[in-house]
Chains A and B, each alone.
Chain A
Amino acid sequence: MFVLIVCAIGALIATLVRREANLRRVEVLGLCWGLGTGVAGLMTFSLSFFGARLTTGNVLLSLTGLLALLVVLNAASGGGLNRLWVCLSRKRSGRPMDGCERLLTAVVLFFVVSVFVDALSQPLLTFDSRSNLGIKAKILFYQQSVFAEDFFDADRVVGHPRYPLMVPLSENTLYHFIGRVQDRYGKIVFPLWFASLACLFFDGLRRCFSRRFALLGTALLASLPVFTYNVNGGAAGGHADVPLACFFFGFALSLFGGLHNESNADLWLALLFGAFTIFTKNEGLALCGIAVTVAAIGVGWRRSGRLLLPVVGGVILVIPWFEFCTRLPHTDENYWSALRLAQVGEGLSRLPSVLLAFPVHIFLKPFFWSVLGWSVVVLAAIAAPRRLKSPHDLFLTIPVLYCLLLVLIYLVTPWDPARVIPLSLTRLLTQVCPLALFWVMLEIEALELMPKEWTRQESSASGRLRS
């Protein structure tokens, strides 16, 4: 029931935002869970922030109220509901899938289903999923407020008190539907975010390329060991990194799509996904900052005025969170204030070991990254003569800049980098690996490394991203 209501909210928002475009089924599937959880999370937080108690009645009432409002808005906006119904119920047009496409679809489904089985076959067990996120969901469920004393006592054993509350609020909302804290069922939100990411990835590629090529890219993403196999993280573990990857991928794709095609619908989606990214993990703010800067440089300062909508709108949506944050206790992990020249200078002695950790991790740990790191390097080397000409290089620039930021963070972290890097680097890179893989797929097509009949889009599909 929870999943249905949240997906309905997301699908109706997607229909409302994309008023002028034909919706594709995969697009709706990708957007519905991401938008639904994001809006539900921000809404329940705002309700509590402005004084309402998060009782079961209030949570259910607010969600059904939002659903009813969206139904009315869609009905009033000229056949929104009808378009959604047509999109979801129409039979697939075009040629049937060939053997290769069926195989790739089977690969995607195998890994997505395995993540669902993995998540639902055991309760929350990993350290961060319990101590950072699960405990906050429990506090929210029992205390029914974001102003519970447990969040403000700096001495309490609650991990990362200043982490945003998107994931705990989603778990908490689900607990209200179940009627008690049952973390095995609460974990269903994580594979759904992974499935949502896979759909968004497929849709992103499908905007420009053939179904076979889009399926190949999605199969590569879904089979990345870091999502399916990573014990300290992964899509089933109950950590915030896969939701963040999902939201941030949606943000980056919509942002660049909106800027290149001058599509306001994409910019509205970027606004929403940007706010969700910031509200999911502290790293989200840095990622959005990097993406907006890269986008502004990429499209030129003259056209960058269009960034105002997603940036200003996104910030407005998370103002209550920023305000709430000022009241939360500070810990020794305050990286924003630690990133000062003097402190970075003090950490320079760590630089060789930190710099070495990245290539070792990316290239020599195939049980996390398979050959993703090698693919990026090989394609960058092949494409070197025509560098700075591809607009899609923005998709690689973001992960590279994020890695540089992580290097700085590891220089100033209060923890011993030798201990913290093996525990955290995989998960931090998970947040941007969909973008790196997206760049790999775009580069494969740009360099004509696959036959044109493999990558070329069928004439019936529309190319919105390519400009």
Chain B
Amino acid sequence: MNIAARSTRILVALLGLALALAGLILKSHDVELVVQWASSVVSINDVNLKRAELLPWVLVLLGAELATVSFFQAKWGATLAKWLRLSREKTTPSQQLLLVLLAAHCGITLLLANYLGVSLGKQLQSAFRLTDQEMVDANFGSRIDFVRALKEQTSDWEGILIVTDSYWPYLLSYEAYPRRLYRSSSAQPRPDLQWLNNHGISWIAEINEVDERWFSLRRVK
């Protein structure tokens, strides 16, 4: 093996180890560190937060893959070098462009496959640990107290008016069915008694827009 190939192999192995180490360090710290960095790149929301939590494991996996590649480089290196030489010598510029696009797709796919693998691993862990209802409850986040209160205090087929500016009652409507949910924005005039009677509304719920843990649920007199 010539010096260039050997140094490439060492560099790839070092990069792999560094990535795996970075992943392990991040894993032992709170996710805050990742979130702080991520907040400068993308907006922080529930989805991005969940992605950020998986980053340490993705780094560990990627590092392990690079280390494996460097280990087998002696075997594959010659073939790869031959392919690269052929692709330079025996292809037109258009074909080279296509190869670059294909390589880019492979790189993106490999990164995302790692993410997908880690994400599915976590998901399967939850699937074995939690019931479906627990997963759904976790998905409601801070609103779960309201969801539980609604399901405990009201009965099937009753009409419930929820006063809130957000659209999450649409998510709740599936959960609470066959209760009949109606939504009214706080900016709209409050529906009158006739409207409530026509729609068979038995309950009115109001949710604090600032902190959704605070709510009121009262029966219509």
Contacts and interface: CB of A to CB of B under 8 A. Distances in A.
Interface stretch (B26-34, B68-76, B106-114): B106-114
B95 interface: yes
Interface stretch (A16-24, A201-209, A221-229, A283-291): A221-229
Contacts of B162: 157
Contact of B109 (A117, A158, A370): A370
B183 A123 contact: no
Given A121-B127, A134-B174, A228 B135 contact: no
User: Interface on chain A toward B: helix, strand, loop, or mixed SS?
Assistant: helix
Interface in A102-135: 110, 114, 117-118, 121-125, 127, 130-131, 134-135
Interface stretch (B17-25, B96-104, B212-220): B96-104
Interface string A364-378: 001100110011001
B180 A156 contact: yes
Interface in B31-84: 47
A173 to B, nearest CB: 18
A183 B178 CA distance: 15
A121 B94 CA distance: 43
Contacts of B132: 122-123, 183-184
A127 B98 contact: no
Contacts of A157: 162, 169-170, 172-173, 181-183
A135 B173 contact: yes
A367 B109 CA distance: 9
A228 B112 contact: yes
A135 B162 CA distance: 18
B146 interface: no
B139 interface: yes
B126 A378 contact: no
A121 B120 contact: yes
Contact of A447 (B94, B108, B115, B116): B94
A117 B136 contact: no
A127 B127 contact: no
Contact-residue bracket for chain A: 35 or more
A267 interface: no
A135 B47 contact: no
Contact of B123 (A122, A220, A225): A122
B120 A117 contact: yes
A225 B108 contact: yes
A378 B135 contact: no
Contacts of B181: 156-157
Most buried by B among A110, A122, A447, A450: A122
Contacts of A225: 108-109, 112
B106 to A, nearest CB: 9
Contacts of A131: 170-171, 173-174
B116 A371 contact: no
Contact of A150 (B109, B169, B180): B180
B44 to A, nearest CB: 15
A142 interface: yes
A90 B1 CA distance: 49
A374 B101 contact: yes
A142 B170 contact: no
Interface in A155-191: 155-159, 183-184
Interface string A206-238: 000000000000001001010011011000000
A427 interface: no
Contact of A122 (B126, B173, B174, B175): B126
Interface string A135-148: 10011001000000
Given A125-B136, A142-B178, A382 B116 contact: no
Contact of B104 (A138, A150, A371): A371
B130 to A, nearest CB: 9
A158 B120 contact: no
A375 B108 contact: no
A156 to B, nearest CB: 6
A382 B97 CA distance: 10
Contacts of A125: 135-136, 139
Given A157-B183, A229-B116, A138 B174 contact: yes
A52 interface: no
Given A125-B136, A135-B177, A157-B173, A117 B124 contact: yes
A130 B104 CA distance: 36
A456 to B, nearest CB: 16
B6 interface: no
A371 B105 contact: yes
Nearest to A232: B47
B148 interface: no
A8 to B, nearest CB: 30
A73 B139 CA distance: 49
B127 A122 contact: yes
Interface in A228-271: 228-229, 231-232
A407 interface: no
B52 to A, nearest CB: 13
Given A117-B120, A117-B124, A370-B109, A123 B135 contact: yes
B43 to A, nearest CB: 10
B199 interface: yes
A444 B92 CA distance: 13
11 contacts: A122-B132, A131-B173, A153-B199, A155-B199, A156-B173, A157-B172, A159-B170, A223-B113, A229-B112, A229-B116, A375-B101
Interface of B: 47, 94-95, 97-98, 101, 104-105, 108-109, 112-113, 115-117, 120, 123-124, 126-127, 132, 135-136, 139, 162, 167, 169-175, 177-178, 180-183, 199
Interface of A: 110, 114, 117-118, 121-125, 127, 130-131, 134-135, 138-139, 142, 150, 153, 155-159, 183-184, 220, 223, 225, 228-229, 231-232, 366-367, 370-371, 374-375, 378, 382, 444, 447, 449-450
Given A153-B180, A449-B94, 19 more contacts: A121-B120, A124-B174, A127-B167, A130-B170, A134-B174, A138-B178, A142-B177, A142-B178, A156-B173, A156-B182, A157-B181, A159-B170, A225-B109, A228-B116, A229-B116, A366-B108, A370-B108, A371-B108, A378-B98
Q: Which 3 A-B pairs give the minimum distances between C-beta atoms?
A: A131-B170, A130-B174, A157-B181
